[in-house]
Amino acid sequence: MSLIRIILTRIGYGLVLLLAVLVLNFTLVSIAPGDIADSIAGDMGGADAEVIEEIRARYGLDKPFLTQLWRYMSGIFSFDLGFSYFFNTPVTELVLERLPATLLLVVSSQILAIVTGTWLGVMAARNPNGLLNTIVTFLSLFGFAAPVFWTGILLIITFVSVFPIFPVGGMRDVTVEGGFFIQALDVLYHLILPMVTLASIYLALYSRLARASMQEVLGADYVRTARAKGVPERTVLYKHALRNALGPVITVAGLQFASVISGAVVVEAVFSWPGLGTLALQSILARDTPTIMGILFFSSLVVIVFNILTDIALRLVDPRIKAG
């Protein structure tokens, strides 16, 4: 099966999955306790029964469930996610404004976790009884045990209060002036602490996984044969062993992407990062259903896209999958 055919097949499966997720999300939000019209009326300072009925009619809340579901799905196909009750803004515009900040945080933290974790795992696998292996094991246990919000608070105390090196929150400093390069450096400066916080738990996972995978690959027959032929150890390690050991790391990275997005919600709240996580928290507290549904739609879409990219990356990296 050619790579293009595989990609098209995965996209088809992804669209079916996205459709199922959208229907499930809409159903769960619709049956949640409370009345959205009451929430809107409460934001207005209160209203009588007649005004509440007008609100329900205006937003289509008085229609049967299937009618509301059809209107929502029809809007999705035309890329119209509705209008935010709380922010008084089209949901599509609202989400697209916050999406780049979340993608920047999530993708950068994943890259940091995968690259650093894989390197630590490879170095530990070279000498299973060495000091580095002990350090990697300790960091892995610490990363798994520490809640992400606790790690974030600890970093704020250390690098903001005790050693004032990094900013306390936000994505940029409004007082900084300059061109694109200066603005990009300012965003990177604000990104460091949230990125390290979100990457910490996944760095522990990837380091342990890479260590176990490398140890298994280094004991394979083709690695012993390469060493017996006098191939340099660096070539054996990085060209022969690492490429075959990356398969489990890439697979888990794709499967963990949904968890990374959910973890970003907590990190964004801790560091006041202006992404979808902060927007989701505000929308949930305000019971702003269209915005919540829009965030769920984009989050599901991002997860599905990255799972497809993970599948493609596996076939490019692992020659056994490519051959199959």
pLDDT at 26: 85
Q: Check whether residue 163 and residue 48 sit in a common domain.
A: no
Q: Is 90 a domain residue?
A: no
Q: Which amino acid is at 54?
A: E
- Domain finish residue from 12, 43, 77: 77
In 57-195, DSSP assigns E strands to none
For residue 78, give both structure tokens.
């035309």
Q: Is residue 91 part of a domain?
A: no
For residue 12, being part of any structural domain is answered with: yes
**Does any domain span residue 316?**
yes
121 and 214 Cβ atoms separated by less than 8 Å: yes
Residues 59 and 170 in one domain: no
Residues 6+ apart with CB under 8 A from 163: none
| Dihedral sign computed on CA atoms, order 39, 43, 49, 53 | negative
User: For residues 90 and 291, what is the distance between their CA atoms, to the nearest angstrom?
Assistant: 9
Percent of the chain whose predicted confidence (pLDDT) is above 70: 92
Asked if residue 61 belongs to a domain, the reply is yes
Task: Write the pLDDT tens digit of every residue in 60-101.
Answer: 777 788 888 888 888 888 778 888 878 888 888 888 888 889
pTM for the model stands at 0.80
Task: Summarize the confidence of residues 268-274 as an average pLDDT.
Answer: 88
Q: State yes or no: pLDDT of 247 exceeds 50.
A: yes
**Whether pLDDT at 323 is above 60:** no
Q: Which domain holds residue 287?
A: 97-323
Give the CA dihedral 157, 158, 163, 164, nearest 10 degrees: -50
Which one of 45, 77, 109 terminates a domain?
77
Q: Are residues 116 and 69 in the same domain?
A: no
CATH code for the domain of 219? 1.10.3720.10
The 3-state DSSP class for residue 283 equals helix
Structure tokens at 43: 């934001």
Question: Is 13 domain-assigned?
Answer: yes
Task: Please tell me whether residues 107 and 163 are part of one structural domain.
Answer: yes
Q: Are residues 266 and 161 in the same domain?
A: yes
Cα–Cα distance measured from residue 177 to residue 156, given in angstroms and rounded to the nearest whole number: 25
Q: What's the one-letter identity of residue 270?
A: V
Please give the Cα distance from 76 to 269 (Å, whole number).
28
| 42/120 same-domain check | no
Q: Which candidate, 321, 251, 311, 319, places its Cα nearest to that of 10? A: 311
Number of domains in the chain: 2
- Do 39 and 108 reside in the same domain of the chain? no
d(CA 35, CA 33): 7
The answer to the question of residue 303 being in a domain is yes
Nearest to 59 by CA among 32, 86, 33: 86
What kind and span of H or E run contains 276? helix 276-286
Residues in Cβ contact with 231 at an 8 Å cutoff, skipping those fewer than 6 apart: 240
Q: Which among 152, 93, 131, 118 is positioned nearest to 291, based on CA atoms?
A: 93
Co-location of 262 and 145 in the same domain: yes
Partners of residue 90 on adjacent β-strands: 83
277/296 Cα distance (integer angstroms): 11
Q: What is the pLDDT of residue 61?
A: 72
Q: Which two tokens mark 246?
A: 């990356």
CA distance 287 to 55: 15
Instruction: Tell me the per-residue pLDDT of 160-201, one tens digit each, with 9 for 90 and over.
Output: 888 888 887 888 887 777 777 888 888 899 999 999 988 888
Same domain for 46 and 120?
Answer: no
Listed in sequence order, the DSSP H helices in 219-275 are: 221-228, 233-235, 242-255, 257-271
Please report which confidence band the pLDDT of residue 108 belongs to, taking 50, 70 and 90 as the band edges: very high
On whether both 70 and 126 belong to a single domain, the answer is: no
Phi, psi (degrees; rounded to nearest 5) at 175 = -85, -10
Task: Record the tokens describing residue 135, joined without a space.
Answer: 């350090």
d(CA 48, CA 42): 11
Same domain, 109 and 154: yes
Q: Does some domain include residue 83?
A: no
Indicate whether 35 and 157 sit together in one domain. Answer: no
